[in-house]
Amino acid sequence: MADYGGNDRYPNTFSNKVIQNLEDIAGKPPIFRVGGSTQHSAVYYPDQVEAIIEQFDSISSSQPRHSYIGPAFMQSFQNFPESTKFIFGLNFYNPENETLFDVGDGILQCVVEANAVYNAIGENLYGFEIGNEDYVDQWNEYAIAISQNLTGKDSLAIFQGCVFEAPRNVWSSTAWNFENAEGDGMRSNKAKSVADHEYMGAACDYTGVGPTIETTIFDRMNMLKRVWYHDYLGNVTKDSGIPYILGETNSISCQGAKRISDVLAAAVWAVDYVLYLSSLRVDRVHFHMGTRYPYASWIPVTFNDTAPEIKPIYYAALFNAHIFSGGEKQTEVWSTEQASEHMPCELESIVAARLTMWNSTFDEAKRPYTSLELPSSWRNAKVSRPTNPVVGIANNITMAGQSVNSDGGIAGEKTYESLDNGRVLVGAGEAVIAQH
């Protein structure tokens, strides 16, 4: 967060502009979740002068082994667009961490951290997450202690609960998922939302051939199998009154995989993925990122002699911001055959994605296209797409003739495509939006 936001003296203007681009299109900025697996190894020290002290195992490590944060760390939150909301991940301080960091009473230390964040972020705090992906039954105990400290009341709906790893066994009464958490006492008087996590594959802990574009993000059956669990749990939460969130996701877990997570293919996948999730009972989606991560939407500071820059998946965020601008959208998912036969005229926008590999070794003249015929009332539709000749490339991507410049702003004149005899053509490895 210190990289992404900067501080009072040196605010990160690149990040600010990148986020403002999304707000300008969508009408509001994303909600940012600060935490994840590193929150378990991060300790708040009220007397520390430095904003953050990080200990990396090596120069190639993507995450620090330990982090120590002080009050100056909170300055970063003031440098995003002023309406930006944040979720802050608190250290759960299990017995191992209490000993490791010599903090004594872990629950008291968690309360101290929550109090500092609450007072520093103020109205821009969406909520807290207590721990990450390893819950135990003390969640209510921690939530009550924090609520008492902040308001004097036992219940304060300021927590995003669950924060579980990708669910796989929803039928077991001992599995970590919202259905069982609710049975153990998680309620809407404390949890304003609940979150699970998901990825399309892993860049660690595998044997044999590693992940590829074709076997992970472009394998739609792979996505559908994984999302099924979230569809199930989203329906389970509807009677609880607690929104179900995909609180951490991206292409490949373990911070991403080069030549999968950092190329145009990731943007095409993210468009399809988010739109499909929006057709389910999933209220919000958070994409994980970090300064050293291949799957980051942008790199906020100079790293490895490379200046701050946009990554391809950011163009999916721009694409989706256009689709969901203003909120209150309803998404329907069709095959191309269903769309051509039953497309109603009252739609606001139509999106088509073709998750098919297309690289520089292929003959462009033989690139396959799907033709989608639109109703006659759509003859003046505006068509745009993230463009690049191949899906395995990270550079020179544009969206409606525009790109993001070195300052983080949108550059170039916006230009749209027209329909081709009433049709939209979608090439292999492309995502296209037509707006009425």
User: Which one-letter DSSP state was computed for residue 124?
Assistant: G
Query: What pLDDT is stored for residue 276 in this prediction?
Result: 97
3-class DSSP state of 423:
strand
Query: What pLDDT is stored for residue 168 in this prediction?
Result: 80
Query: What pLDDT is stored for residue 137 in this prediction?
Result: 61
The ranges assigned to domains in the chain are: 2-324, 336-435
Q: The tokens of 144 are what?
A: 């009550």
Query: What pLDDT is stored for residue 174 in this prediction?
Result: 65
Query: What pLDDT is stored for residue 343 in this prediction?
Result: 64
Query: What pLDDT is stored for residue 20 in this prediction?
Result: 98
Query: What pLDDT is stored for residue 338 in this prediction?
Result: 62
Query: What pLDDT is stored for residue 161 in this prediction?
Result: 86
C-alpha 387/C-alpha 94 separation (Å) is 48
Query: What pLDDT is stored for residue 97 in this prediction?
Result: 63
Nearest alpha carbon to residue 252 among 285, 313, 291, 294: 294
C-alpha 215/C-alpha 297 separation (Å) is 22
- The one-digit pLDDT tens for each residue of the chain (436 residues) are 999 999 999 999 999 999 999 999 999 999 999 998 888 788 899 999 999 999 888 888 888 888 999 999 999 999 999 999 999 999 887 666 666 677 667 788 889 999 999 999 999 999 999 887 656 567 888 889 999 999 888 878 899 988 888 888 777 766 767 777 877 778 788 889 999 999 999 998 777 788 999 999 999 999 999 999 999 999 988 888 899 999 999 999 999 999 999 999 999 999 999 999 999 999 999 999 999 999 999 999 999 899 999 999 999 999 999 999 988 888 988 876 666 566 665 788 999 999 999 988 888 889 999 999 888 889 999 999 998 878 998 988 999 999 999 999 999 999 999 998 999 999 999 999 999 8
DSSP structure string for 34-100: E-SGGGGGEEE-TT--SSEEEE-SSTT-SS-SEEEE-GGGGGGGGGS-TT--EEEEEP---HHHHHH
**CATH superfamily of domain region 2-324:** Glycosidases (3.20.20.80)
